[in-house]
Amino acid sequence: MYRIRISRPRALAVPAVLLAVAMGATACGGHDSKSSGSDNGKGGAGKPGSASSASQISVTPGNSKSGVDPASPVKVTLADGTLGSVTVTAAGKSADGVTPVEVTGALDAAKHTWTSNRTMTPGTGYTVKATGTDSSGKPTQATSTFTTLTLTAAKVNGVTPTPLNNAVVGVGLPVSLQFDKPVTNKAAVEKALSITTTPAVKGSWGWVRTETGYDRVDWRPDEYWKPNTKITLTAKLSGIDTGDGRYLRRDVNDTFSVGPSRISYVDLKAHTMRVTENGATVKTFKISGGKPSFPTWNGQMVVISKQSTIRMTSSSVGIATSKDSSDFYDKDVHWAVNITLSGTFTHAAPWNAAKMGVENASHGCIGMNTDDAKWFFDRAVRGDLVITSGSTRATVDKGNGYGDWNLTADQWHALSALA
């Protein structure tokens, strides 16, 4: 039997840092006006403490501009001279309490232009300060301020990353980012993502549509993770327009590691489950899979979560709503390990005890004797693999849980928005 649980992911609150970046050059939007060192709110230029020529530094966005697209670049230019330093500093938290990200950038080869190389936090006031030297060798400087667009609720897109918090996971868990609202600008999102691993691992981002209707991007290695691999996700998402003016508000950064290789092989014809750890078989026990009218999925599935007790109902998966139906069920089930979003679990099924190892009699789940189910439950961690074969049903879809592994490495690479 199986059960669907659909829950709306919440945007994850991930802290970021205040912005104050000193680069080889800086930018600031100043007007060409004579100044003795003060910028009077319109930009200024000059050698501190002495009179100087007007600033020749220009900044985009312009001074005092509001509602600036956080995905637009900051650009500082000194056409007749060379830029020295540029800093872009946020004035405290954003309008909705988010700590702004650090805005970085770089000079061109001629040191005439500095351009930011990442997006900004929405609803945030920024100050750009730039210094340089004009063509006559005199110092010049400018200061400019602007405010990025403050988002309404309809303009916010949220993201839920997996895994988090230095988790130790199984060898099959991809790095995953699921979005609250549709993502039509997938390339812009993917360009902001990076993965580093120790040791180095080859893999790719790929986009899927989940069984529950959300856009998700996963980074999957070409082969299963090796135990003890360390993975770091850096996602510079704050200010990214995911499409139709729906912006992400925060960056995401996390590190996790891979534990032992635990892969379980379910033979639905032989009615057995063989559990391996680091390549060695540690236990084989009898099971009962989905009966012919409700067969279990074929293919490679990944442990999503587990619950010691869960209520399973036939109505939740559209099988039977009436107690008069022979397929009706409504009961508490123990030692449940979830492996698909459509509701496939491994779990204790004492009501099918006589059918273990003999007959497939469930509504799609993998039932076990209670002691075996608890043994497996105690061992299972998110990311462990459960591979089924011998069913009359199709191979589980890539978006039905973490079905990523049912594609070859080449097929997976082709799902990248940058492929």
- Is 365 among the catalytic positions? yes
Let me know: does 166 contact 379? Beta carbons within 8 Å. no
Tell me the backbone φ, ψ of residue 262, rounded to 5 degrees. -120, 110
124 contacts 239 by C-beta, under 8 angstroms: no
Cβ atoms of 336 and 345 closer than 8 Å: yes
CA atoms within 13 Å, Cβ hemisphere of 128? 36
Beta pairing partners, 128: 88, 144
109 vs 46: CA distance, rounded Å: 24
From residue 415, alpha-carbon distances to 46, 368, 396, 418 in Å are: 53, 36, 17, 9
d(CA 294, CA 408): 27
Give the list of residues 6+ apart from residue 371 with CB closer than 8 angstroms, or none. Answer: none
Q: Under DSSP, is residue 360 helix (H, G, I), strand (E, B) or coil?
A: coil
Give the list of residues 6+ apart from residue 346 with CB closer than 8 angstroms, or none.
Answer: 273, 287, 336, 337, 339, 365, 366, 367, 368, 373, 376, 380, 386
The answer to whether the CB of 240 falls within 8 A of the CB of 120 is: no
Residue 32 backbone dihedrals phi, psi, to 5 degrees: -75, 90
- Catalytic pick from 28, 31, 271, 347? 347
Question: At 44, which helix (H) or strand (E)?
Answer: none
Contact (CB, 8 A) for 2 and 345: yes
CB atoms within 10 A of CB 330: 12
Q: Which residue of the set 28, 31, 363, 365 is catalytic?
A: 365
Query: How far, in Å, are 2, 353, 354 from residue 312 at the CA level?
Result: 7, 18, 21
* Catalytic (active-site) positions: 347, 365
